[in-house]
Chain A
Amino acid sequence: MGKSFLIDTTRCMACRGCQVACKQWHGLPAEKTENSGSYQNPADLSFDTYKLVRMKEETVDSRLRWLFFPEQCRHCLEPPCRDEAGDPSAIFSDDRTGAVIYTIQTRNLDADAIREACPYNIPRAAKDGTLAKCDMCIDRVENGLLPACVETCPTGAMNFGERDEILALAKKRLTEARKKFPKAVLIDPDDVRVIYLTAFDPALYYENAMADAGRFDMSRKMALRRMARPVSRGLSRMLRL
Chain B
Amino acid sequence: MTNHWIDIKNSDCILIMGSNAAENHPISFKYVTEAMQRGATLISVDPRFTRTSSKADIYAPLRSGTDIAFLGGMIKYILDNDLYFRQYVAWYTNAPFLVKDSYAFRDGLFSGYDPKTRKYDKSQWGFQLDDRGNPKMDRSLKDPRCVFQLLKKHFSRYTTRVVSQVTGTPESDLIEIYKTYAATGAKGKAGTIMYAMGWTQHTVGVQNIRAMSIIQLLLGNMGVAGGGVNALRGESNVQGSTDHCLLWHIWPGYLKTPRASNTDLAAYNKKWTPVSHDPMSANWWQNYPKYAVSLLKSFFGDKATAENEFGYQWLPKVDDGKTYSWMDIFDQMYRGTIKGFFAWGQNPACSGANAVKTRMALEKLDWLVNVNIFDNETGSFWRAPGVDPAKIKTEVFMLPAAVSVEKEGSITNSGRWMQWRYQGPAPMGDSRPDGDIIMELGARLKALYEKGGTFPEPIVNLKWDYLTAGKYDPHKVAREINGYFLRDVTVKGKTFKKGTLVPSFAFLQADGSTSSGNWLYCNSYTEKGNMAARRSPKDAVNKIGLYPEFAWCWPVNRRIIYNRASVDLKGQPWDQEQWVIKFVGEHKDGKWTTKKWIGDVPDGGWYPMENPDGSKRSDSRYPFIMRKYGHGQIYGPGRADGPFPEHYEPLECPVSKNLLSAQLTNPTAVTYDTDEDTYNTCDPKYPIVGTTYRVSEHWQTGVMSRNQPWLLELQPQVFVEMSEELASLKGIKNGQRVRVSSSRGALEATAVVTPRLRPLKIEGTTVHLVGLPWHFGWTMPKSGAEKSANLLTPSAGDPNTRIPETKAFMVNVSRL
Contact = CB atoms under 8 A, between A and B. Distances in A.
B735 to A, nearest CB: 3
B234 to A, nearest CB: 16
A156 B709 CA distance: 27
A20 B710 contact: yes
Contacts of B49: 64, 66
B572 to A, nearest CB: 34
A36 B710 CA distance: 17
A19 to B, nearest CB: 7
Contact of A37 (B713, B714, B750): B750
B756 A15 contact: no
A66 B756 contact: yes
Given A14-B696, A35-B735, 17 more contacts: A13-B22, A13-B54, A14-B51, A14-B54, A23-B710, A30-B712, A35-B750, A36-B735, A37-B736, A38-B752, A66-B49, A66-B51, A66-B53, A66-B54, A68-B54, A154-B27, A155-B29
A33 B717 CA distance: 9
A33 B716 contact: yes
Given A64-B755, A154-B26, A155-B29, A34 B710 contact: no
Interface in B727-763: 734-736, 750-756
Contacts of A15: 22-23, 26, 29, 51, 696
A35 B26 contact: no
8 contacts: A14-B51, A14-B696, A15-B29, A34-B750, A37-B736, A41-B715, A41-B716, A68-B54
Interface in B699-721: 709-717, 719
B716 A34 contact: yes
B111 interface: no
A64 B723 CA distance: 13
A23 B55 CA distance: 26
Contacts of B695: 39
Interface string A43-62: 00000000000000101000
B812 interface: no
B436 interface: no
Contact of B29 (A13, A34, A39, A64): A13
Contacts of B714: 16, 19-20, 33, 41
Greatest chain B CB density within 10 A among A13, A31, A154 is at A13
A156 B27 CA distance: 11
B23 A30 contact: no
A216 to B, nearest CB: 29
Interface of B: 22-23, 26-27, 29-30, 33, 37, 49, 51-55, 57, 59, 695-697, 709-717, 719, 734-736, 750-756
Contacts of B33: 11, 154-156
A65 interface: yes
Interface of A: 11, 13-17, 19-20, 23-24, 29-39, 41-42, 57, 59, 64-66, 68, 154-156, 176, 180
B30 A35 contact: no
A11 B711 CA distance: 22
Contact of B715 (A29, A39, A57): A39
Contacts of B719: 35
A169 to B, nearest CB: 13
Contacts of B716: 32-35, 41
Q: Which 4 A-B pairs have the closest CB atoms?
A: A30-B709, A37-B735, A37-B734, A15-B26
Contacts of B751: 37
Contacts of B22: 13, 15
A18 to B, nearest CB: 11
A42 B736 CA distance: 17
B30 A31 contact: no
A41 B755 contact: no
A23 to B, nearest CB: 6
Greatest chain B CB density within 10 A among A19, A39, A41, A59 is at A39
B717 A35 contact: yes
A29 B752 contact: no
Contacts of B697: 16
A64 B53 CA distance: 10
A17 B710 CA distance: 11
Given A15-B23, A24-B710, A59-B755, A34 B696 contact: no
B454 to A, nearest CB: 52
A58 B751 CA distance: 19
Contact of A34 (B30, B53, B57, B717): B717
Contacts of B27: 154
B199 to A, nearest CB: 21
A185 B120 CA distance: 60
Contacts of B736: 37
A35 B751 CA distance: 9
A34 B282 CA distance: 59
Nearest to A53: B714
Greatest chain B CB density within 10 A among A17, A19, A155, A180 is at A155
Contacts of A154: 26-27, 29-30, 33
A31 to B, nearest CB: 5
Contacts of B23: 13, 15
Nearest to B727: A37
A24 B709 CA distance: 11
A44 to B, nearest CB: 13
A57 B755 contact: yes
Contacts of A57: 754-756
A16 B696 contact: yes
A155 to B, nearest CB: 4
A13 B710 contact: no
A39 B696 CA distance: 10
Given A37-B735, A66-B53, A17 B709 contact: no
A33 B735 CA distance: 13
A34 B29 CA distance: 28
Nearest to A31: B713
Given A15-B22, A17-B26, A66-B49, A35 B752 contact: yes
Contact of B54 (A35, A42, A65): A65
Contacts of A13: 22-23, 26, 29, 51-52, 54-55
Contacts of A176: 37
B752 A37 contact: yes
Contacts of A34: 716-717, 750
Nearest to B21: A13
Nearest to A157: B33
A23 B696 CA distance: 17
A17 B51 CA distance: 14
A16 B714 CA distance: 9
A57 B30 CA distance: 23
A39 B750 CA distance: 11
A23 B697 CA distance: 14
Nearest to A63: B59
A17 B57 CA distance: 23
Contacts of B713: 30-33, 41-42
Contacts of A11: 33, 55
Contacts of B37: 176
B566 to A, nearest CB: 27
A14 B712 CA distance: 16
B413 to A, nearest CB: 15
Nearest to B737: A35
Contacts of B750: 34-35, 37
B41 to A, nearest CB: 11
A155 B53 CA distance: 15
A20 B711 CA distance: 8
A59 B54 CA distance: 12
B694 to A, nearest CB: 13
Contacts of A180: 57
B593 to A, nearest CB: 48
Contacts of A59: 755
A11 B35 CA distance: 12
Contacts of A23: 710
B756 A29 contact: no
A38 B753 CA distance: 8
A16 B695 CA distance: 11
A29 B709 contact: yes
